[in-house]
Amino acid sequence: MPYSAIIYSVNNSNSEFYRKSLTKLTLKVTNVYAYDDFERFVKNEVFDILVVDLELDNTDAITVIKEIKSLSLKHPLRIIVCSNKADDFIQISAFNSGADDFVDLPVNPTVFESKIKALMKRMEPENAEKENGYIYIDHERYKIMIGKNAYSLPRLEFRMVTLLFSNPNKIFSKDEIASEIWHNKDISSKRTIDIHIRNIRRELGDDIIKTYRGLGYCIKTP
């Protein structure tokens, strides 16, 4: 399952070093050099890893991490802070702000790549919910994995899929879905649920969810 990374650095040499290492590990990489560009990308695209230099123009990594927390991103962004200033206070501040790792620059490429690999391993859905032989629900990254393919869904539709997969042999009525997802049975009388089911089928495939007319919906398992 491919991961994506965004690099935020104003140092061209650092940025290129990070890019080469991440690309070598088959990550999809985006480079940004200014906060406005960074904010635009993370608001509109999904990234798994952020590699950010501590020292930035008009800001710093600690501030950036705090800003990330206020953006309510769709799923967690793993953060690696890099700096040639690696005293204890700076590292503690980085970790306390929410960083997942700290890299002391300059760093050997092999060491840097090992840190990325370790982070990616922690991101693997080892704690994902295995619903049947070929479908996984990754609750942390809001992804549905069918075989070797990973799909991202909006939060409401992800919750609907999770509910249906919680009992693949059960037919969930619209009232049950509305109560569990919206905490409001009144919504079941509307076309809202049908629209979301249609969106899910468009993304995951028409044969994933079976409709029982007059009864509700059921996950179709192999």
Q: pLDDT tens digit string along 92-117?
A: 999 999 899 999 999 999 999 999 99
* pLDDT higher than 50, residue 184: yes
Which of these ranges, 32-41, 124-133, 161-170, has the smallest mean pLDDT? 124-133
pLDDT in tens, 27-57: 999 999 999 999 999 988 889 899 999 999 9
Range 7-19 average pLDDT: 97
- The span from the CA of 198 to the CA of 196, in Å, is 5
pLDDT at 128: 45
Residue carrying structure tokens 């503690």: 92
Q: Where in the chain is the domain with CATH 3.40.50.2300?
A: 4-123
Question: Domain 129-219 adopts which CATH fold?
Answer: Arc Repressor Mutant, subunit A (1.10.10)
Checking DSSP bridges between strand 101-104 and strand 78-83, what pairing results, if any? parallel
Amino acid at 48: D
pLDDT of 120 above 60:
yes
Q: Is the pLDDT of residue 129 over 50?
A: no
Residues linked to residue 117 through DSSP beta bridges, in sequence order: none
Q: Which residue has the higher pLDDT, 9 or 220?
A: 9
| Residue with the larger pLDDT of the pair 141 and 197 | 197
Among 118, 120, 105, residue whose Cα is nearest residue 18:
105
CATH 1.10.10.10 domain position(s) in the chain? 129-219
pTM for the predicted model, two decimal places: 0.60
Whether 134 and 147 have beta carbons less than 8 Å apart is answered as yes
CATH homologous superfamily, domain 4-123: Response regulator (3.40.50.2300)
Burial of 4 (0-12, 13-18, 19+ CB in 10 A): middle
Element (H, E) at 56: strand 55-56
**Predicted pLDDT at 130:** 46
16-28 burial code (b ≥16 CB/10 A, e <16): ebbbebbeeeebe
Can you say how many angstroms the Cα of residue 100 is from the centroid of all Cα atoms in its chain? Answer: 15
| The token pair that represents 139 in the structure block | 């609750």
